[in-house]
Structure 1
């Protein structure tokens, strides 16, 4: 008997859930008459189910049966005292264009909060579901006034945003973050939709004033963190650094935020402020790893800003650092960077190789050895000792399988084979790398594979492709003038071949490195004009737009090119960034 009862119960529960799903499907598909019929059946079985009640009311309204919905709600309210039904009844009157009775019921619902503030969430949500934003705001504000321990700042912030009251929205977000600091990342994400990179944007100014006012009224490092974040959005790293120093002075346990700021400034090519921040880290950090990383970046900055005349000074600084901190596994990154400088900048690959061979004798992990061998391979490629370089890269693949370094070594095997003119072997390696776990390696592998496959059949001798590979190698060897000259040869002697847009693009990038922006502009325009249907056109649009925006001070031209990517190249990898840059140039307040 017990088993029979359980079976009956399970069967009825299953049938009940089937009816519920059927009703939902009818409603979703717009078959409101059938949905109403099913929901009424379900309501008969479960008259206190709030979802069925709302769905019956909504189905009546979708069928414009407002009197039936009103009658249903009035009978319900005689049985159940639930203030949300007043909102629903008011909205039903509003659908009937009876605004007087609609407002009477809305006010009754709001008045019920005075008697029982706990009802505010359900009442406000009901207002919000009918896009009654003002009433929802009144409900939350009333409840917080009655019960100061209630915190609906997050809900209010979202509602103020919908209402377009930006100042109140910012204040509510900031107040919520103050009482819930762990939510700061989410609050920043929400606020970021309403500010831009332009410090003169009205919303930016409003937000900055709110934070400064808060900082004056009640000192709290939260305001410094918020201000730093705002200044970073505006690419004003000097002001952000001032705020981060204020945070560090109160919380000197960690420099991680200042490290991150330095890295962002470096990545944005704001070299002077990045140098200032890294120098500050070296003066204040007690952590060896942090110190070494800061010194590494400072040396990279100095190399980037120096000419050959200063290379002996840089060499001496590297030597001084390695003498100070020692040559062991913890300074490995500094050692590899020094060898790279010797080979690629100071043109002393012999000394660089000798130095790294000594590094390999240190007690290193297999992964660390792989990093050293990767640099040794690069130095051999620099000298065009391709076969010796391939030995190192292959050793890495064998010794640290399935690592990012191993995948990078495989890519370098392909690139070295490509430099040699062994395009078939290069392609076989690149096919594997298309599925690399490193997105950067996968993208580079795909680009190189397309370059080879698009150009290897045009000429049985593959003359143009071999010349292009040589030009690419010259660029890798920091012989940019020679590379540009060889690309000119390709452009003049292979005018009808598909490699031309690639040669134009590569040459444009080299022109940019040499600050020959007018020549770069001409190349990008040549791709757009003559190869508008090719795979590089979106690259040309984006790079030319960046050139106009950052170097040639022609924002309107940049905006027009970003717009072309948005409307004509929605599948481009530049689409998201182009949209962001376009809206920033247009002065949009909201992203």
Structure 2
């Protein structure tokens, strides 16, 4: 008995293996365009497994491709006599349409759609069959009829996809919105789909369509999802003030979490829309009850104000810091604000002694090693500012030893290398940078690689390292916020070392400093010199991207920016700027799709 069972099992397994192999052959023949062989294989498969409708429909498809319309018609009519299947009706109609028999084609399409009267659930299969043959108008009728007959079904996702294929963007948006109204878990999916049809241009007709639909929804419904969608749309358009208005409306209705508002503020800050960012962070300060959130928002406001301030504004910023300390004290809770204030004192008010005293006091707190490390990093930076490199190295080394393999430790090692580079110890700096090339922090790894290449390229070319020593001095002056002095040192490199490898680097560094002091034409001249005279430089993509950005933001020359982005994409597809350049190029070109 056991032997018989085993024999049956083996025979069954063998049969399955043969069937799977035949199926593989059939698909291979079909994909290679060998339709006669595919037809024979699928007929064999179908004869062995009548219940597998896929084989049946594949036979019909091949017969149509071979223009054996009579064979297909006979096969479909026989199948319809066995069972009333609406997909068969669509296939039969399509078979007539291929023969240019529109009357019979329409007859069977109508019959297929009519099956919904008795069973609206047929809509998915019928609609899909129409879509398979690109009969989109019939598919639309099918899905709409099903929803009219049965309110619990929702085919708006299918309709949206079809409208998108037809270029009916407004109808597509309406269908997506109607779908997500009943299926809120799909909100992010809908956003992704919609984002392919809108741009950063607020006047783009697709943006206008979507905005109109969403505004109507906010008027008809109290559901905050529509405000969230509007906020999302405004963010895509970089219309952050309008996004802020929507987020305020959401918060005032919910009165729970400021998480969305914080996310918006960080996005706006990252996009360098500083005035709008300050407004949003101030709203957070005024409305949060959490001290930690309030202090973090204060810190953001002060950092942004410092970034955009002129020297005449420094006294006001100093007053704000001290007002906060009067309110909350100088305690471990305000550590990040104290570190920020120390940086402001040292780098902007030129009061390094007060900054160092403040930071040394924070080291007395009972803090985690990572918190202490942040204070020590700033201490080291201020000592570098004073050119007390050896003292700075003590603090950086402590961090590296106490927090081995952490991001902070890697940051400290990079600063050790940078301090050594500033004081002219290029060999030691290069040895540290070699280790950091594989840093887990991508930013640190990139910075380390850039500095290593600068040092190694120039050490190889100039054994006395005269130009490199000058460049390191200019780099230090820039770190010390002595930008005018740094520009003069870079000028001397450009005059005295005309043929050396450091020239493109000096031009790029100087251009960035010109940009800082808003001398945009001088910055442009430097970028153009790199582009025109140093076509083999590894900094060419930097120059192209930076000049494109400058052209858009300060020189009102979008046409030139578009050409520069295009050149970067065409000649430097592996550049770290390629992704951003592609997006910005397409936006300037006026593409509908992102």
TM beyond 0.5: yes
Task: Pick the aligned partner of 2:138 from 135, 140, 164.
Answer: 135
Aligned to 1:383: 386
1:563–1:391 Cα change, 3 Å: same
Change (3 A) 1:229 1:458: same
Mapped to 1, the partners of 2:223 and 2:20 lie a distance apart of: 53
Aligned positions of 1:154-553 closer than 5 A: 154-553=157-556
SS at match of 2:461: coil
For residues 115-146 of structure 1, the C-alpha deviation after alignment (integer angstroms, 9 at most, x for no partner) is 21111112212222222222222211111111
1:255 Cα deviation after fit: 1.0
**What is the rounded CA distance, in whole Å, between the counterparts of 2:373 and 2:584 in structure 1?**
39
Deviates more, 1:321-330 or 1:375-384: 321-330
State how far apart, in whole Å, the 2-side matches of 1:419 and 1:71 are: 87
Whole-Å separation in 2 of the counterparts to 1:21 and 1:430: 55
Q: 2:588: which partner in 1?
A: 585
2:67 equivalent to 1:73 = no
Instruction: Could you tell me which runs of 5 or more consecutive residues in structure 1 were left unpaired when the two chains were aligned.
Output: none
- In structure 1, what is the equivalent of residue 24 of structure 2? 21
C-alpha change, 1:115 and 1:311, in structure 2 (3 Å) is: same
Shift of 1:62: 4.1
Are the structure 2 counterparts of residues 424 and 103 from structure 1 closer, same or farther at C-alpha, using a change threshold of 3 Å?
farther
User: Residue 456 of structure 1: SS of its match in structure 2?
Assistant: helix
Give the 3 Å change call, closer, same or farther, for CA 137–429 of structure 1 in structure 2: farther
C-alpha distance in 1 between matches for 2:267 and 2:516: 21
Answering whether residue 3 of structure 2 is matched by residue 35 of structure 1, we say no
1:28–1:378: structure 2 CA closer, same or farther, 3 Å change rule?
farther
Query: For residues 570 and 96 of structure 1, do their structure 2 counterparts lie closer, same or farther at Cα, with a shift above 3 Å needed?
Result: farther
> CA shift at 1:332, angstroms?
2.2
Alignment of 1:87-166 (within 5 A): 87-166=90-169
Q: The residue matched to 2:490 in structure 1 has which SS?
A: helix
Q: Structure 1 102/564 Cα, relative in aligned 2: closer, same or farther at 3 Å?
A: farther
Q: 1:472-521: per-residue Cα shift (whole Å, max 9, x none)?
A: 22111111111111111111111111221111111111111111111111
**In structure 2, what is the Cα distance between the partners aligned to 1:472 and 1:544?**
21
Point out the more displaced range, 380-389 or 207-216: 380-389
Report SS of the residue matched to 1:194: coil
RMSD: 2.0
Residue 16 to residue 519, structure 1, CA distance change in 2 (3 Å):
same
Q: 1:330 to 1:27 in 2, by over 3 A?
A: farther
Q: 1:451 to 1:139 in 2, by over 3 A?
A: farther
- Quote the residue 1:568 is aligned against: 571
* Whole-angstrom CA distance in 2 between matches of 1:511 and 1:310: 21
**Cα distance between partner residues in 1 of 2:461 and 2:164:** 58
Once the two structures are overlaid, the 10-residue window that deviates more, 559-568 or 88-97, is: 88-97
When residues 92 and 492 of structure 1 are mapped into structure 2, their CA distance, relative to the original with a 3 A threshold, is farther
With over 3 angstroms needed to count, the CA separation of the structure-2 counterparts of 1:426 and 1:210, relative to structure 1, is same
Aligned partners of 2:274, 2:163: CA distance in 1, in Å? 40
Normalised by the length of structure 1, the TM-score is 0.95
Instruction: Name the SS of the counterpart of 1:498 in structure 2.
Output: coil
Q: Offset at 1:64? A: 4.2
After superposition, the Cα gap between the structure-2 partners of 1:322 and 1:12, relative to the gap in structure 1 and judged at 3 Å, is farther
CA displacement at 1:524 relative to structure 2: 1.0
Compared CA separation, residues 54 and 574, structure 1 to 2 (3 A): farther
- Gap change, CA 1:433 and 1:45, over 3 Å in 2: farther
- What is the TM-score when the length of structure 2 is the normalising length? 0.94
